[in-house]
Structures are given as C-alpha cells and as structure tokens.
Amino acid sequence: MAYFDAASAAPLHPVARQALLASLDEGWADPARLYREGRRARLLLDAAREAAAECVGCRADELVFTPSGTRAVHSGVAGALAGRRRVGRHLIVSAVEHSSVLHAAEAHEADGGSLTQVGVDRTGAVDPAAYSAALREDTALACLQSANHEVGTEQPVTEVAEACRAAGVPLLVDAAQSLGWGRVEGDWSLLTGSAHKWGGPSGVGLLAVRKGVRFAPQGPGDERESGRAPGFENLPAIVAAAASLRAVRAEAAAEAARLRELTELIRARVPALVPDVEVVGDPARRLPGVVTFSCLYVDGETLLHELDRAGFSVSSGSSCTSSTLTPSHVLRAMGVLSEGNVRVSLPPGTVAEDVERFLEVLPGTVAAVREKLGAPAATETVRAAGPDLVVDALGRRCPIPVIELAKVIGDVPVGGTVRVLSDDEAARLDIPAWCEMRGQEYVGEEPAEKGTAYLVRRVS
C-alpha cells in the first residue's frame, strides 16, 4: 500500500518512536514536582522545549506545547484577540485558511467581533497588497497560513508580516504544513504547529508567542505551560514531537529536493495521461511533496475508493467526498474545478517506483469511473424555443450536472445557450471551471423555481 496522504498525517518518524518509548520510562512523573523523578521529567520537558524553539526560531520561553495543533490555533487566536481588545475587535484571515482558523474566526464573529476574509488568486495565494488594504485602525489580529494544506501553495508571509508590523498588528501564522521543512521567514508574532504533520505523535501542538505581543490566555487559569495550555503535559509525546522535528529538519533539504522531482513528475504527466484534468496550486511556490489535480466528469468519492483498492491512499477536497456535499472552501476560493479532486501528498521516504505505479494505475481508474457515471439514465433534456437548451439536473450531485452540460453543448449552435438547472452547490464552482477548460462562455447564474439556473453560451 502506498500512503500518499502525508498532508493529513505523516507516518511516525523512527526517531519519534524511539524517543516516545524511552521517555515512557523516564518522563512519566509530574515535571512540576521537586523530587528526583519530577526533576528528571522537568529536564526532558525543558530539553524538548529548547529543541522545538530552535526549530521554530523563537526563544524557549516564548513556546508552549498544546494538546493539538487545533488547540494551538484556537488558543492563539483567542488570546491575541483578548490581549488587544482595547485596540478593537477586527480580525483578518485569508479565505483558504485551515478550518481551525476559520472556526475560530466564526466564533469571534458570533461573539460580536468583525471579520475580513482576504481572497486568493487562482493558484491559492493571497496578494500582500490586498492584505495590507484590509488592515484597519481597529484590527486586533491577522492570520495567514505559511502554506496551504489542500493545494500546497506557499503564502507570502514575509511581505504580509511587513505590512502588519508597519500597522502595529500582530500576525499569527499557521505553520502546520511547512514547519517540518524549515523555519517560517518573516517578522511574525504568533505561530502554531502540529506534530503529526511532521512525523511526530498525534496529540501535540505548539504555540509560539513573541515577547511584546499582548496576549491574554482565555478560560480557567492554570499554572502549566505559562497558563496557555492547561492540564498535565503529555511528556512522552512532547519529547517525541521535538525529537522528530529536529530529525526531519536535518533531512529536509535533501528530502525536499527528491520529493519535488516526484511531484513535478506527477504535475507533468497526469495531464498528458488523463484527459480533462486541471492541476491546481502554484507551480513553483509550493510545498515539496504536495500536488493536487481535479478530473472532469469524475465522482471524487468513487475515484478515491478505486485508488484505495488499487493500493494508493490519497485524499480529496471534492464536494463528492464530503458529508456536507459542498465544495472545499479552498477550491471554491480559488475558483478552480472541484469535482474529481485528488490531493497527493508524499511522505518523506516515498520511492519513485510507487509514484510510477500510481501514474500507471490512474488513467484506467479515471476512465472506469467516468464510464460508470456515463451509464445512468440520461438527465431529462428539454429543447426550448430558439437555439437554447435546458438541462434539468435537479437532485443530481456532482459531477452529473457538468457531464450533462458536456453532452448537450454541441446540440446548440455557436451563440446558443444551455441553462443547467441544479441544486448542487458544487455546480456554482464546477460549471464556470468547465467553461474555462472548454473555451465556452459562462454567462452567469439566475434564480430558478427550484435550485439555480447556470447559463453557458457556446462560443466554439
């Protein structure tokens, strides 16, 4: 089985396993106690903090360990907002942040705060000028990920941090995806990470808060971890997390170069092997091991199941793999195709033979899924007066509305239109994306008696 979902969770690094087992024997006592076992545990905790701080690029007394990366984000956002409440209650995030950041932003807004989401371009990157323009006198905090978790695009953290610093606004960077590859450059104020993203054990996050940043921990007070992460420390996991972060950093340069070659191979060959594919994300400013592409006329959930049966573990941002049946917020913000979306994220140690085998299996797998989706009874098509068609795809989920559009676009003359009736949220993203890929004109949408009517004009 080839595991290609390291962006969700990287396999446990051998160093992490060794450190975890060793510290189970040595680090079980309370590090706050003064007796021998407590002092031994305290030494392990202090050493782990020093090692993690060195990798992050901060002082040891600026970094605390949390029960997860999500908790680090929530604590960081809430503490920074509370610490600067006298300045104002305006929060800025990008439209492609991890759900942990967006959920924290939603809670802030529900509590009466104001929120600005900065959009991204088609590669998934924010424009530093747009971020700078969003800053206000009452802005308490800005948040920006170092690299995107779904498409791998690296963000211009240095430029955004400069704008925030000039405005006197702290910048929180979610570095979960990139921290294993190197320090986050730029004059950031707060930073979060998650150990299971770099090969450490799950259940360990980190939060760094620079000296001078106004920060007020929220919730009941606790004497542990500077009051920012209450509860007894999971010392064996913390030691393993710090040890694995140091280990992957030592290997990062060579491994990044090797994985970039493999992902470039995928980026180049998938469009050549599989028709009607859009490779998304920035082609250059990207994480070493992440490549994401979307396949027209493919049910994402079925495709992932078929790839799993063929021996490949991949993930997707497609609405077809989601219990909510709504497109990924990242793909939606980018304005790219969401159907048949596949994210390949290679863990360190991935061998070229597995990538070659994936490229051999993928074309036939996509073709088989497309054949299955072409087999259902045709969607009802009603010819309207004049050179127009109405495709009734109500009640049909992605990618059926786009498939039926593709079937009938040739039935109208150049200049004629097709109205696709759909109540699937994904159609709002996928029909315009199909038009761009096919060289047709997306006219827009309008309300319908049921669902929404999406208008497409044939131009070629």
Catalytically active residues, by annotation:
320
State the sign of the Cα–Cα–Cα–Cα dihedral 76, 77, 82, 86.
Answer: positive
Whether the link from the prior residue into 399 is cis, omega within 30° of 0, is yes
For residue 260, give both structure tokens: 């970039």
Residue whose tokens read 């996928």:
430
Q: Which helix (H) or strand (E) holds 442?
A: strand 441-447
Q: What ranges make up the beta strands (E) of 314-439?
A: 341-345, 381-383, 388-392, 417-422
Q: Is 38 exposed, middle or buried (0-12, 13-18, 19+ CB in 10 A)?
A: middle
Is the CB of residue 90 less than 8 Å from the CB of residue 108? no
For residue 316, give both structure tokens: 């997707």
Of the candidates 318, 319, 321, 420, the one whose C-alpha atom is nearest the C-alpha of residue 379 is 420
Is the CB of residue 191 less than 8 Å from the CB of residue 185? no
Residue whose tokens read 């009607």:
276
CA distance 235 to 324: 37
Which stretches of 84-222 are DSSP H helices?
A: 99-110, 128-134, 157-167
How many CB atoms are located within 10 Å of the residue 264 CB?
13
For residue 225, give both structure tokens: 């971890």
Of the chain, the end-to-end C-alpha distance in Å amounts to 44
How many CB atoms are located within 10 Å of the residue 81 CB?
28
- CA-atom Rg of the chain in angstroms: 24
CA distance 334 to 122: 5
State the sign of the Cα–Cα–Cα–Cα dihedral 373, 378, 380, 386.
Answer: positive
The single-letter code of the amino acid at 53 is A
